[in-house]
């Protein structure tokens, strides 16, 4: 029902109650038709005010929608900022973790490897480690 | 009946829906990746292989723990923004 407000200018609907008043007043000058003009004029005035009420309501809802849309845009921008910060933090910290891991492996390859021949790892040690490291099913 | 019809026509002017919704944002891809499985030792592992595997497994743990913490932080902050809008 509100589609009509999209295709017409708002000021046109102000003329409807005025038209109703004009029809009502004309009943004073065209007395033979007073029986038709008075109720017709009254009906047009009532309908005109009702349509103006609809127009006011439509405009109020449009404004509310506009305000909400603005709030949504602000919230979406904040959301995007949070996501960007988290992405950057993950990238930076993952890089640090990987570098530390490489440093440890370099140290192992340099220092621990000297004891490979003098230290035998029992099979039971390997089994215990692998059982703990196995993915849970 | 006519009065009812007229009333129904009048009442159609009262209903409207404000077509504005906010969607909960999508999580970053980095947070949606599964954590790596831990590495296993070969049967004839040497001392350096053990040390290397343990270090790599600790690295996997730290990466997984970071993802988990970041996921919690991301979700909590988005929830505050989302609830704040409503």
Q: 3-state DSSP call for residue B33?
A: coil
DSSP state letter for A137:
-
Residue B47 in contact with residue A111, Cβ under 8 Å? no
B34 interfacial to chain A (CB closer than 8 Å): no
Q: Which pairs count as long-range contacts for A108-116, CB under 8 Å and 24+ apart, including other chains?
A: A108/B48, A108/B51, A108/B52, A108/B55, A109/B48, A109/B52, A112/B47, A112/B48, A112/B51, A113/B47, A113/B48, A115/B47, A115/B48, A116/B46, A116/B47, A116/B48
Chunk chain A into consecutive blocks of 10 residues (it has 137) and report each block's average pLDDT, rounded to whole numbers.
Answer: 75 89 92 90 92 88 89 92 96 96 96 94 95 89
Residue that wins the pLDDT comparison between B13 and A68? A68
CA gap A15, A84 in Å, rounded: 54
Whole-structure pTM value: 0.70
ipTM over 0.90? The verdict is: no
Q: Do B48 and A113 touch (CB under 8 A)?
A: yes
Q: Do B43 and A79 touch (CB under 8 A)?
A: no
State residue A98 phi and psi, 5-degree precision. -65, -40
Residue that wins the pLDDT comparison between B18 and B12? B18
CA gap A109, B40 in Å, rounded: 18
Closest among B64, B47, B12 to A129, alpha carbons compared: B47
Q: How far is A98 from chain B (nearest CA, A)?
A: 7
Place of tokens 């009065």: B3
Q: What is the pLDDT of residue A45?
A: 93
Q: What is the pLDDT of residue B17?
A: 54
Structure tokens at A30: 């065209």
Lowest model confidence (mean pLDDT) among A4-8, A124-128, B15-19, B56-60 = B15-19
- Tell me which chain B residues have a C-beta less than 8 angstroms from the C-beta of A71: 85
One DSSP character per residue, A39-99 reads HHHHHHHHHHHHHHHHHHHHHHHHHHHHHHHHHHHHHHHHHHHHHHHHHHHHHHHHHHHHH
Closest among B77, B30, B28 to A94, alpha carbons compared: B30
Mean pLDDT of chain B: 83
């Amino acid at each position: 029902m509100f589609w009509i407000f999209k295709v017409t200018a708002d000021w046109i609907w102000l003329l409807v109650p005025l038209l109703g008043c004009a029809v009502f007043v004309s009943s004073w000058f065209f007395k033979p038709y007073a029986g038709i003009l008075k109720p017709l004029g009254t009906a047009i005035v009532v309908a005109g005010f009702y349509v103006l009420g609809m127009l006011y309501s439509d405009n109020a809802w449009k404004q509310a929608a506009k305000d909400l849309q603005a709030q949504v845009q602000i919230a979406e921008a904040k959301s995007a900022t949070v996501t960007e910060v988290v992405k950057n933090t993950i990238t930076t910290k993952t890089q640090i973790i990987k570098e530390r891991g490489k440093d440890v492996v370099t140290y192992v390859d340099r220092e621990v490897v000297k004891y490979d021949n003098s230290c035998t790892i029992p099979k039971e040690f390997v089994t215990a480690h692998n059982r703990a490291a196995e993915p849970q099913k | 009946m006519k009065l009812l019809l007229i009333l129904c026509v009048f009442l159609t002017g009262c209903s409207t829906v404000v077509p504005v919704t906010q969607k909960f944002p999508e999580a970053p891809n980095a947070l949606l990746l599964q954590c790596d499985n831990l590495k296993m030792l070969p049967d004839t592992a040497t001392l350096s292989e053990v040390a290397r595997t343990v270090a790599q497994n600790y690295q996997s743990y730290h990466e997984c723990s970071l993802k988990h913490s970041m996921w919690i932080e991301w979700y909590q902050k988005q929830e505050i923004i989302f609830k704040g809008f409503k």
